[in-house]
Amino acid sequence: MSARDTEILQWIFSQQDNMVSLLATLVNVDSGSYDKEGVDAVGALLSRFFAGHGLQTTVRPVADFGDTLLVGTAAVRRDAGRHNILLMGHRDTVFGKGEAARRPFRIAGDRAYGPGVADMKAGLVMNAFVLAAFQTFAPEVPLVVMLTGDEEIGSQASLAHIDEEARFARAVFNAEPARPTGNFVTGRKGGFTYRFEISGKAAHAGVNFTEGASAIGELAHKITALHALTDVPQGITLNVGLASGGSSTNTVAAKASGEVDVRFVNGQQRDRLIADIEAILSRPAVPGTTTTFERKSESLPLAPTPENAALSAIYREAAVSLGFEISGEFTGGCADSGIASSAGAPTVCATGPVGGKAHTEEEYILVETLSQRAAIVAASILRLRG
């Protein structure tokens, strides 16, 4: 390791308190996925941080959700071939307006708490300081940070932006939180949802029952059939998590609706599931009912390709060089790393600080891992530089 490499890592470890300070600022700003103003406010705070380190942020506008932000060293290239090292993160959270004021950032013992602290504002802070370190000590490294604004609702607005940047990347590190075990993620499921609307025929449940066609009855058949597609050993799960319908207990329901979450491991499963689900939704079980449906919010799987495995090995070796023994693991959750990997970029995920209980009031990170995981990413980049 050269003297400059050592300087980069020492600087990152020295920034622990500044990382905590920036994290507190970001956590205390509401930025739910549908709160464009809040998500963009978090982006403005990060842009100010980058400007303080001589970095200019490029904004790719998004109409209804948070804009996509790009910032990198002058060495970043977007011509033929894979040149860049891409650090990814999302600014949106699952929490609504007022949540940050109700339970602001706090530290208790070795943990920090607050809405979105792990998923994934700590990862944003970590990526920001890694980029600042290379801008200061090694600006010749083509390092770019991408900050999106709609990951928690499927990344439909930012998908094209991620795909484009990934096509110029020789390595991608996605700063979702490291697992509570301390491990990073080498594989993720893909997923999508279907929203469906059922129309039946209303009738009085006591007087002219047989003249009706129950949309709720049809919904029950569809839920049963959709759930029957689940194959846990193969990594396939379907869950109708939203269902509604009807107007009163003594009326045969004229309307009903549902939404099903679908998870899978590979593209072959995806294609088969789409065909099976659409067959179920198209075919009525209750005469007189019809169903319309729409596939939404698709996330691509992070598959264990040879390129991803090679990058995971580099990341693991970088951790060992700093005295940390970590491994990769598989998770059923979806993330933007699947988009990058599907674009052909070698990708590892959950390179952010160690955290847990995401999307709940108990969400946390281990504070000491802010600078620790930043240093592991930086050490990985140093191994890739040549």
pLDDT at residue 298 in the model: 81
Residue 131's pLDDT is 98
Mean pLDDT of 125-144: 98
Give the C-alpha separation, 386 to 53, whole Å: 24
Residue 168 and residue 38 share a domain: yes
Residue 317: band (very low, low, confident or very high) from pLDDT cuts 50, 70, 90: very high
| pLDDT average, residue stretch 138-150 | 97
Looking at the fold, whether 229 and 288 belong to one and the same domain comes out as: yes
Rounded-to-integer distance, Cα 338 and Cα 166, Å: 11
Same domain, 150 and 8: yes
What pLDDT was estimated at residue 227?
98
Q: What is the mean pLDDT of the chain?
A: 96
Those residues whose C-beta lies under 8 Å from the C-beta of residue 357, and which sit 6 or more positions away, are 118, 363, 364
- In terms of domains, do 148 and 201 share one? no
Range from 167-181, 240-254, 297-311 carrying the lowest mean pLDDT = 297-311
Task: Find the CATH number of the domain harbouring 315.
Answer: 3.40.630.10
- What kind and span of H or E run contains 296? strand 290-299
Query: Containing domain of residue 245, as a range?
Result: 190-299
My answer on whether 100 and 204 are in the same domain is no
Q: Please determine, for residue 74, whether its predicted confidence score (pLDDT) is greater than 60.
A: yes
299, 328, 360 — which closes off a domain?
Answer: 299
E-assigned strand segments in 135-235: 143-148, 169-174, 177-178, 184-188, 190-199, 203-204
In the predicted model, what is the mean pLDDT of residues 2-9? Answer: 92
Distance of alpha carbon 154 from alpha carbon 300, whole angstroms: 10
Other Cβ atoms less than 10 A from the Cβ of 289: the count is 23
Q: What is the CATH number of the domain that holds 293?
A: 3.30.70.360
Asked if residue 137 and residue 10 are part of one domain, the reply reads yes
- d(CA 366, CA 118) in angstroms, rounded, equals 9
What are the tokens at 112? 């920090």
Q: Tell me, yes or no, whether 181 and 207 share the same domain.
A: no
pLDDT digits (tens, 9 = 90+) for 249-289: 999 999 999 999 999 998 899 999 999 999 999 999 999 99
Share of the chain above pLDDT 70, in %: 100
What is the average pLDDT across 299-325? Answer: 95
What's the average model confidence in pLDDT over 327-346? 92
Tokens of 103: 């339970």
3-state secondary structure of 242: strand
Q: How confident is the model at residue 296 (pLDDT cuts 50, 70, 90)?
A: confident
Say whether both 108 and 54 belong to one domain.
yes
pTM tops 0.85: yes
Task: List residues bridging with 90 in a β-sheet.
Answer: 148
pLDDT the model gives residue 267: 84
Q: Domains in the chain: how many in total?
A: 2
pLDDT of residue 386 exceeding 80: no
* 165 and 262 housed in the same domain: no
pLDDT tens-digit series, residues 195-240: 999 999 999 999 999 999 999 999 999 999 999 999 999 999 999 9
Same domain, 362 and 341: yes
Domain endpoint, select from 261, 282, 299: 299
Place of tokens 């590190």: 173
Q: Are residues 33 and 109 in the same domain?
A: yes
Do residues 279 and 308 share a domain?
no
Of 252, 271, 299, the position where a domain reaches its end is 299
